[in-house]
Amino acid sequence: MGNQILIRNVPDHIKKRIDRERQSLLMSQQEYLLKLLEDSTESPQFPLFDDTKEFGRLELPNTPFTFVDLFAGIGGFRIGFERVGGRCIYSVEWDKYAQKTYKAWFGEVPHGDIRKIRPADIPDHDIMLAGFPCQPFSLAGVSKKKSLGREHGFKDKTQGTLFFHLATIAQIKRPPILVLENVRNLLSHDKGHTWEVIKSTLEELDYKVHHKVIDGADYVPQHRKRVFIVCFDVRIFGKRPPFSFPSPPTHKPPKFKKILERNPDRKYTLSDHLWQYLQDYARSHRERGNGFGFGIADPNGRSRTLSARYYKDGSEILIAQNGGRNPRRMTPREAARLMGFDDSLPIVVSDTQAYRQFGNAVIPIVTEAIAKQVVRVMAWQITRNGNGCLLKSGKTRTTRKAVLRTD
């Protein structure tokens, strides 16, 4: 038989899972089982050997976990994680107008420039949230150091970028979980080099990295594709934490017309000059075979992506009007609703700043769905430890025990 591995006397549901896993990894059954055995010797908590049915029933009600909100914007991340029991203990946002909205919504003014913040001044926390900007990384610096035979690590690869500051905070504070967000083009930016550096940096810091592009259209009446990155500290969760991104909800999102105000101010109607310009612009691009132009939203469907430049002309999401009137742009309140922000949250900045803020924001209902999946993994780990804590040593900020539902 040689080194051949046979599966005998194994329940069918385990066999099916092995088959699904190996196919997703493009491995033969033998290759996968050898990897499984190797991983299980390094990490005794290899998820395949856990009771996955029990994991599916895990909850962590009223979880007193803590998080920090970095590159916070107006708090779309914060809202989602507060809804599942999290408590924000530190926030960072440099834009003074976003700070004003954040203060009105959460009662605190975020700290400013992350480049001027010492990691040691950030409180210990369970989860780091960050919707960081996308920036290119330099290949030259790393190549030069290689040629000189000098060591290089994430600090050399990411130096000078805002991601560098996130990585440094993660290295020093060691939050058990990181949840990051960016535009979907992060994965292809700079021919994939940017994502390669980010992923390798997080792995170098000993985090298991999961990422997925999620379309907000599954939750709100707007196509909005963003990449979410969820990372677990390998030293706590092992190499294979049983995390999966949320499946799209079974119910359909509201139709676009549901976000509309009944009597919007006439100032949102496009002027004859602007409307003519947009039509001419679209026509010229069509003649050249391009797809650029304005977009009239389908009232019974979903709109295009709301961008931070919406304040300029509103061209990507226009609303048709009756009576021969020119189309109009959305009001700031409609833009807030399109992003899933509740009407109880006041708009305390100018229209221009409001459009920018909502165009840059994260959809709270999406972050809430991700937060629920993250909390389930926390519950799984806490229950396995048996001490009510995320760490086996009992030294952690999260203290409530996970429980199994009995219903």
- The DSSP bridge partners found for residue 177 are 127, 232
Give 266-281 as a DSSP string. GGGBPPHHHHHHHHHH
- CATH number for the region 58-252+363-404 comes to 3.40.50.150
Mean pLDDT of the chain: 83
Question: What is the average per-residue pLDDT within 304-326?
Answer: 94
Residue in the structure block whose two tokens are 């922000």? 341
Residue in the structure block whose two tokens are 């359909």? 252
Active site amino acids:
134
Quote the pLDDT of residue 41.
42
- Within 10 A of 307 (CB to CB), how many other CB atoms are there? 17
Of 101-115, 149-163, 227-241, where does mean pLDDT reach its minimum? Answer: 149-163
Structure tokens that stand for 368 in this block:
């809430």
Assess whether pLDDT exceeds 60 at residue 358: yes
Whether 127 contacts 65, CB under 8 Å: yes
Quote the pLDDT of residue 385.
78
Please enumerate in sequence order all residues whose Cβ is within 8 A of that of 132, keeping only pairs 6 or more positions apart, or say none: 70, 71, 162, 163, 166, 180, 181, 182
- CA 368 to CA 78: how far, in whole Å? 9
- pLDDT range class, residue 283, cuts 50, 70, 90: confident
Question: What is the average per-residue pLDDT within 170-194?
Answer: 92
The ranges assigned to domains in the chain are: 12-42, 58-252+363-404, 256-360
58-252+363-404 and 256-360 share one CATH topology? no
Give 294-347 as a DSSP string. --BPPTTS-B----TTHHHH-TTSEE--STTPPPEEPPHHHHHHHTT--TTS--
CATH class of this structure's domain 256-360:
alpha beta
Higher model confidence: residue 48 or residue 289? 289
Question: What is the average per-residue pLDDT within 289-306?
Answer: 88
- What does the pLDDT look like over 128-150, one tens digit per residue? 999 988 766 554 444 434 443 44
